Chain A
Amino acid sequence: MAIAVEKPEKADKVQPAAAAPAARKVSRRMASAAILVAWLVLFVVLRGRQTLTLAAADLTGLHHWLNDVNDTIGANRNSNPLFLYFFNEIRLAIDNLVTFVQSLISQPTGSRPVPQIGWLGVVGLTGYVSWAVGNWRVALLAVAGFTFFGLQGLWQESMDTLALTLSAVFVALLIGIPLGVWAGLSDRFNRIMTPFLDFMQTMPAFVYLAPLTLIFLIGGASAVITTVIYAAPPAIRITAHAIRSVPETTVEAADSLGTTRSQQLLKVLLPMSKRTVVMGVNQTIMAALAMVTIAALIDAPGLGKTVVQALQSLDVGTAFNAGLAIVVMAIVLDRVTTAAAGRAEAARRRSGRLLKWRRPLLVAGGVAVAVLVYLSHTFVWAAEFPGNGTTGSHIASVADTTTLWLQDHLSGLTNALRDAITNGLLNPFQTLLTDSPWWLVGAVLVALGAVLGGWRAGVTAAVCVGLLVGTGLWSDGMTTLASTAVATVLVMLLGAVFGVWMGRSLFVDRLVRPTLDAAQVMPPFVYLVPFLALFGATRFTAIVAAVVYAAPVAIKIIADGVRNVPESTVEAATSAGCNTWQIITKVQLPMARGALTLATNQGLIYVLSMVVVGGLVGAGALGYDVVAGFSQGELYGKGLAAGLAIVLLGVMFDRITQAAARRTRA
């Protein structure tokens, strides 16, 4: 009967709906403006009071307590049963896996001065596998890429990165694919998993590191564990999505033929989702590579470590060389797995003759690779990469020279740009945020959340503000917030311009999209290097890197939103005599409102994660707190609290923008 009562209400609501949105939209915009004006007025009056600033070396009670927790855990690591029988076991298992893979390709073991498989074997194996799962073109790319690592003088670092990535991907898929299949089959399990996956993917990669070191210490094993946590969600999500998107008719048809559940899974669902699952593997590998490089902060070996050390000493040349190696590895891994995903389709189109030759060729290739592996296992010339990485030092010196030249000749331009944005946009905004009383900013955040996203988002914002104050890092949080907000505004400007352009022109779309795709697979780290060269170690560098990192995703979302505006609507507007500008501003952008909000959401999250990485190059604030926490024992608790503060900011933004997106769509 409850339903019977509810029904007429719904019917009533439908009627005035036509009039309501217009009225509500105006009032929402006015309310936001009123909040901002009130903030400015109160800021002038109350400036500099109750700002909760905390000096870099100062600690709060919470930070001391976290330090103590860390010490306690360190002391009882081998006596606490939870650690003894659970965490330590996990660590041990992962450690064995990592050590094993490292001993194969990167680290010397036992009496051998070189790893089991030398460069020749690895290059051969990589080429062979790339050819077998993909095609000969990506195989050539892979061979060239891996040889390049050796020429750069970064063979061992590259292999360490590869070893960690492969171990992490292996574990992530081992966990992720079964869970994904389960989530694909069971609605209930899917409902349970979704919030966890959402949460894990919202978090900047960075923040996993601190709490995990608490449990798993630092080093390769915890790098892999962190990476697994970061890289498994895409595998789970995409597998579940693949299973779910098998057409209902096909499942029903199989059902009508009397398949059992396992037949259904093995013969229908899994084969039909294979291609998508391989795309999930691609995502997992890219996420893993990104995370493995960042895990250099917790002492993971590999290219990331080289970059971090170089960044900390502002050695642009070395950072560039290692960053280039990361980019090359990202491209190779991405191309190979993308080709593997396309293979299933391509293979069956091919003529039978080629297929007939494929098997003997595979066998022959396998034998050849076995010989290469044997050679590289036995002879030093095939085990250690010849030469001493002169290409690498050459690249480094060219990068250094270029940097110097740029700094000499372009400093006027880059400095002007930097100062314009820093003084014109960033500083005032940061002052507004950090110099207002904390309760004022908090109230503004809660009010904006409530106005834009509804009362639930308001409550979330209130809780986050409260906890943020509790971390003792309010002022640093506001500094980070200012950088994030400025970067997001820039991202949205770029996103709107390029997104509309791409959405309106298929040609531009085809031209720009591959670049965006490529930009998205890069580990966030490498963005810092060129901008460090141009702008030096400042907040602005971090902001530019964040904008470049976050813009592709925003552009793509907006482009798709504009593209999805029905052709007939645009046609109708054109026939009514709209000019191009009117069509964009009055038809396409308003109708892509949902996409705009979604782009803001994604842009914010991406920017936030990058602004934090910017802590490495002088962005200060929360990012610096986290980095310092890893390197200095007495700041450990503060770093952990900073990580928490980042999570809180992330959750707050995510909730508000998502709620706003839901409301604009409704």
Chain B
Amino acid sequence: MTPAQTEVSQRRDTSQDPQDRTPVISVRRLWKVFGPKADQVPDSEELCGLTRRELMDRTGCTAAVRDVNFDVSPGEVFVVMGLSGSGKSTLVRCLTRLIEPTAGEVVFEGEDIRGADPKRLRELRRSKFSMVFQHFGLLPHRRVVDNVAFGLEIRGMGRTQRTKRALEVVELVGLAGYENSYPDQLSGGMQQRVGLARALAGDPDVLFFDEPFSALDPLIRRDMQSEVIRLHHEVGKTMVFITHDLSEALKLGDRILIMRDGKMVQCGTGDELVGAPADDYVRDFVKDVPRGDVLTLRWIMRPAQPDDALDGPELGPDVVVREATRAVLAAEKPVKVVEDGKLLGIVGDEEILAVVAGQEGGV
């Protein structure tokens, strides 16, 4: 992590999400290396410094996840984004030990789950976290309601009780009326709703999503994204969301972690990624994002000059540019950006137009 972006993300964190509660998930120096003698790689100063390609040539090992650190706060939607092969799916599987990490810590509610024995790990999986998969992973020989109840069934919950709970969740994800269908009678989007319901049925603390909508059509994908946002409002679960789609990441994520070749490149909110990309890779990534939709006034305001008129309208620093456009252009005088009664800066027509009209121009 470069210092610049850490600073930004901290500031943003305190401003938007002022809970200082302990994180739900805290990942420290996490490594996953595939290959012979994989466990030697994270320990060796020299091997750690190599690029993925060099490491492959030197040792025959593939480092899928390299020295990743992050915290997820309660109730947050944390998005991990990267292109295919960036290690994001491996990362999320390491968090629940579906793939065994090579080194590092995964602390879940104060407990390092790398130290959990198989029994404890099963308990955690049954009650604390659950996962939604790209290819659904439904059981074709069971009806929708039995698929949703599966997690409860393996916990040993009685039939009537688990069916009742499953029906509630089926209702919640908008599948009422399809309880008795079989998965292959449903469309892809509906199948993924079943997967979502299955994950919700056990009332877990954290939901993991592994590219859940990549296999769906664009329209249905949009529906499902709204569905996740709605569910997040309704049930308020902590979510860790994997995607390769930047617009999806920006739409859903409170914070976004960008990965490349197993390493984290930048971690921050959407407007931080767009406003202050950590390097050319991220800059290239966010190039086509409509900046007005993402950036807030904080990013475009300028310090008030002595000759500025300071009697214009006031707006908060976290108002998105697009929403402020009309107000700023309509006002005859520059808009003051004010937070807690303190003047942070001002935004005039030029600043707004630079963003709205010059979107293609990059930074």
Are A and B co-members of a single complex? yes
User: Quick one: CB contact mask for B241-268 with A, threshold 8 Å, 1 for yes?
Assistant: 0000000000000000000000000000
A247 with B126, Cβ < 8 A, contacts A257-B150, A267-B150 known:
no
- Could you say which residues of chain B place their CB within 8 Å of the CB of A255? 98, 125
B188 → chain A closest CB, angstroms: 14
- Could you say which residues of chain A place their CB within 8 Å of the CB of B153? 267
Please tell me if A313 contacts chain B, counting CB pairs below 8 Å: no
A258 with B138, Cβ < 8 A, contacts A3-B60, A263-B154, A267-B154 known:
no
- Does more than half of chain A's interface fall in helix, strand or loop, or is it mixed? helix
Complex contact B133–A252 (CB within 8 A): yes
Which A631-653 residues have a C-beta within 8 angstroms of B? none
- Could you say which residues of chain A place their CB within 8 Å of the CB of B122? 258-260
Complex contact B139–A268 (CB within 8 A): yes
- Could you say which residues of chain A place their CB within 8 Å of the CB of B121? 258
- Could you say which residues of chain A place their CB within 8 Å of the CB of B21? none
User: Quick one: CB contact mask for B124-138 with A, threshold 8 Å, 1 for yes?
Assistant: 111100110111111
Which A1-45 residues have a C-beta within 8 angstroms of B? 3-4, 7
- Could you say which residues of chain A place their CB within 8 Å of the CB of B154? 254, 257-260, 263, 267
B5 → chain A closest CB, angstroms: 32
Complex contact B138–A4 (CB within 8 A): no
Complex contact A257–B123 (CB within 8 A): no
Complex contact B135–A247 (CB within 8 A): yes
- Could you say which residues of chain A place their CB within 8 Å of the CB of B141? 271-272, 274, 344
Measured in the bound complex, the distance between the Cα atoms of B60 and A409 in whole Å is: 74
A253 with B60, Cβ < 8 A, contacts A3-B36, A258-B122, A259-B154 known:
no
- Could you say which residues of chain A place their CB within 8 Å of the CB of B135? 247, 249
Complex contact B125–A257 (CB within 8 A): yes
Query: Number of residues in B with C-beta < 8 Å to the partner?
Result: 37
Measured in the bound complex, the distance between the Cα atoms of B183 and A272 in whole Å is: 13
A271 with B198, Cβ < 8 A, contacts A252-B98, A257-B126 known:
no
Measured in the bound complex, the distance between the Cα atoms of B60 and A274 in whole Å is: 40
- Could you say which residues of chain A place their CB within 8 Å of the CB of B36? 3
Measured in the bound complex, the distance between the Cα atoms of B39 and A24 in whole Å is: 43
Measured in the bound complex, the distance between the Cα atoms of B127 and A250 in whole Å is: 19
Query: Number of residues in A with C-beta < 8 Å to the partner?
Result: 24
A182 → chain B closest CB, angstroms: 21
- Could you say which residues of chain A place their CB within 8 Å of the CB of B57? 4, 7
Please tell me if B202 contacts chain A, counting CB pairs below 8 Å: yes
B125 → chain A closest CB, angstroms: 3
Please tell me if B151 contacts chain A, counting CB pairs below 8 Å: yes
A88 → chain B closest CB, angstroms: 44
The residue in chain A whose Cβ has the minimal distance to the Cβ of B119 is A260
The residue in chain A whose Cβ has the minimal distance to the Cβ of B147 is A253
The residue in chain A whose Cβ has the minimal distance to the Cβ of B141 is A271
Please tell me if A579 contacts chain B, counting CB pairs below 8 Å: no
Which A230-282 residues have a C-beta within 8 angstroms of B? 247, 249-260, 263, 267-268, 271-272, 274
Which B22-46 residues have a C-beta within 8 angstroms of A? 36
Measured in the bound complex, the distance between the Cα atoms of B141 and A272 in whole Å is: 7
The residue in chain B whose Cβ has the minimal distance to the Cβ of A2 is B60
Measured in the bound complex, the distance between the Cα atoms of B124 and A271 in whole Å is: 26
Please tell me if B140 contacts chain A, counting CB pairs below 8 Å: yes
- Could you say which residues of chain A place their CB within 8 Å of the CB of B126? 257-258
Most A Cβ at <10 Å: residue of B93, B134, B140, B195: B140
The residue in chain A whose Cβ has the minimal distance to the Cβ of B122 is A258
Please tell me if A348 contacts chain B, counting CB pairs below 8 Å: yes
Measured in the bound complex, the distance between the Cα atoms of B139 and A272 in whole Å is: 7
Measured in the bound complex, the distance between the Cα atoms of B141 and A247 in whole Å is: 13
Which of A247, A258, A271 sits near B137, CB closer than 8 Å?
Answer: A247
- Could you say which residues of chain A place their CB within 8 Å of the CB of B130? 256-257
- Could you say which residues of chain A place their CB within 8 Å of the CB of B142? 271
Complex contact A258–B198 (CB within 8 A): no
Please tell me if B58 contacts chain A, counting CB pairs below 8 Å: yes
- Could you say which residues of chain A place their CB within 8 Å of the CB of B133? 249, 252-253, 256
Please tell me if B161 contacts chain A, counting CB pairs below 8 Å: no
B122 → chain A closest CB, angstroms: 4
Measured in the bound complex, the distance between the Cα atoms of B36 and A252 in whole Å is: 24
Please tell me if B84 contacts chain A, counting CB pairs below 8 Å: no
Measured in the bound complex, the distance between the Cα atoms of B150 and A271 in whole Å is: 14
Measured in the bound complex, the distance between the Cα atoms of B36 and A4 in whole Å is: 12
Please tell me if B59 contacts chain A, counting CB pairs below 8 Å: yes
- Could you say which residues of chain B place their CB within 8 Å of the CB of A252? 93, 98, 133, 137
Measured in the bound complex, the distance between the Cα atoms of B57 and A247 in whole Å is: 32
Binding site for A on B (CB under 8 A): 36, 57-60, 93, 96, 98, 121-127, 130-131, 133-142, 150-151, 153-155, 182, 195, 198, 202, 208
Known: A249-B135, A255-B125, A267-B150. 4 other contacts (CB 8 A): A255-B98, A256-B130, A257-B150, A260-B122
20 chain-A/chain-B pairs, Cβ below 8 angstroms? A3-B60, A4-B58, A249-B133, A249-B134, A249-B136, A253-B138, A254-B150, A256-B96, A256-B133, A256-B208, A257-B130, A257-B202, A258-B151, A258-B155, A260-B154, A267-B153, A271-B141, A271-B142, A274-B141, A344-B141
Binding site for B on A (CB under 8 A): 3-4, 7, 247, 249-260, 263, 267-268, 271-272, 274, 344, 348
- Across chains A and B, which 9 residue pairs bring their CB atoms closest together, nearest first? A253-B137, A258-B125, A258-B126, A249-B137, A3-B60, A257-B151, A258-B122, A256-B131, A249-B135
